[in-house]
Structure 1
Amino acid sequence: MTEHPPPPAYGATPGPQTGARPAELLDRFLARLIDGILLAVVNGIIVSAIVVSTVMGDSGGFYTASTYAASAVSAVLTTVINLAYFGYLESSRGQTVGKMVMKLRTHGPGGGNPTLEQALKRNIWMAAPILGIIPVIGALGGLIQLVAVIMIAVGIHNDTVNRQAWHDHFADETRVVKEG
């Protein structure tokens, strides 16, 4: 008869244990706030430069017909920049700039860095600005992001063991842990 290890405790994450404790909601919020400020500056510079050069005519005036084009370009660029930032840094380093400052790290299900796919899945809600390419409906992008943030905060708060929310579960059980 073969002996099997005991099942994990209720709420425990299967897989290798790193000894790191799950990151608290406040630390995760502050890390995301730092990242949000950094991305707002980067998006503001890049998107403004591209949109202004796209929208401005030779005479220096704005074309009224290109207002839609400007908002569509802005929506696409913002979405690409946000997903590239979180996807690349979380999959290659396990940390964004905000997480580095707050001494947090994102772990994939095996304990190492998440894969690019997992990092993109856990941050998919950051793609809501892409709705800006659809007139009228584009305004829903901000509302969708707000609802996602509230659901994430409630999920992290309610999971007192692992501090995981829907986006962590959707991304194959990623975890954010406090280092040191």
Structure 2
Amino acid sequence: MSQSNPYAPTAETMSADPFTTVPQSTELATLGERFLGALIDGVIQLVLIIPFSFGIGFAFAAAVGVEGVETYQYAIEAAGALVGVAIFLALNGYLLASKGKTIGKVVMKTTIVHRDTEQLLPFWPLIGKRYAWLWACSLIPIVGGVIPLIDALLIFRSNRACLHDDIAKTKVIKDQILA
């Protein structure tokens, strides 16, 4: 006589992987939801990055003198960019890795998923394909302001995908509301 283990997980429990399972909704997030999510993320980033940026500038000025700051302008900008990336990852890294969300997407109840499979993407490919190339482009004089603008304006297409969505093969969907 075989007894079943009362502590064994059920098949239903075993099939639910919290790191790859996403809401069953396939409804795209609205332009407003995406805009407000990005705005929330941007404001949080700015509040934290501005003090660090001033600190980096003051540290370089103290180290090389006010006259030397112009000589090290690109190093100061690169240091600022690295701090910005570190702050972004500190704020959003866990959420992106585990839920496909940034803080703004949590507030707006939206999720980043793979365009075809509708599953969450692995963390580093998501960061590399969706964010890193934009961060790198922003460091290029003149082009650094144009490419992010083009990226954002492409959201007005029928599929509501920005350039970073096309490159990463992602889409942003509404979270399913459980009744």
TM (norm. structure 1) is: 0.67
* Distance change (3 Å), C-alpha of 1:143 and 1:84: farther
The answer for unaligned runs of 5 or more in structure 1 is 1-15, 132-137
Whether 1:77 aligns to 2:80 is: no
* Distance change (3 Å), C-alpha of 1:148 and 1:85: farther
Aligned to 1:147, which of 139, 147, 150? 150
How many residues matched? Answer: 149
The answer for unaligned runs of 5 or more in structure 2 is 1-21
| Partner residue in 1 for 2:170 | 174
* Distance change (3 Å), C-alpha of 1:86 and 1:141: farther
Aligned to 2:56, which of 50, 60, 71? 50
Written as runs of structure 1 = structure 2, the 5 A alignment for 1:124-143 is 124-131=133-140, 138-143=141-146
Larger radius of gyration: 2
* Distance change (3 Å), C-alpha of 1:71 and 1:119: closer
Whether 1:120 aligns to 2:128 is: yes
Offset of residue 175 of structure 1: 1.9
* Distance change (3 Å), C-alpha of 1:143 and 1:126: same
Superposed structure 1 runs of 4+ greater than 6 Å apart: none
Q: Distance in 2 between matches of 1:164 and 1:57?
A: 45
Q: Does the 8 Å contact 1:89/1:96 carry over to 2? A: yes
**Could you report, residue by residue, the CA deviation over 1:109-146 in whole angstroms, capped at 9, with x for unpaired residues?**
53332212134312232433322xxxxxx243123222
| Partner residue in 1 for 2:103 | 97
Offset of residue 83 of structure 1: 6.5
TM (norm. structure 2) is: 0.68
* Distance change (3 Å), C-alpha of 1:94 and 1:72: closer
Q: Could you say what the CA RMSD is over the residues aligned between the two structures, in angstroms?
A: 2.8
Q: Distance in 1 between matches of 2:92 and 2:136?
A: 11
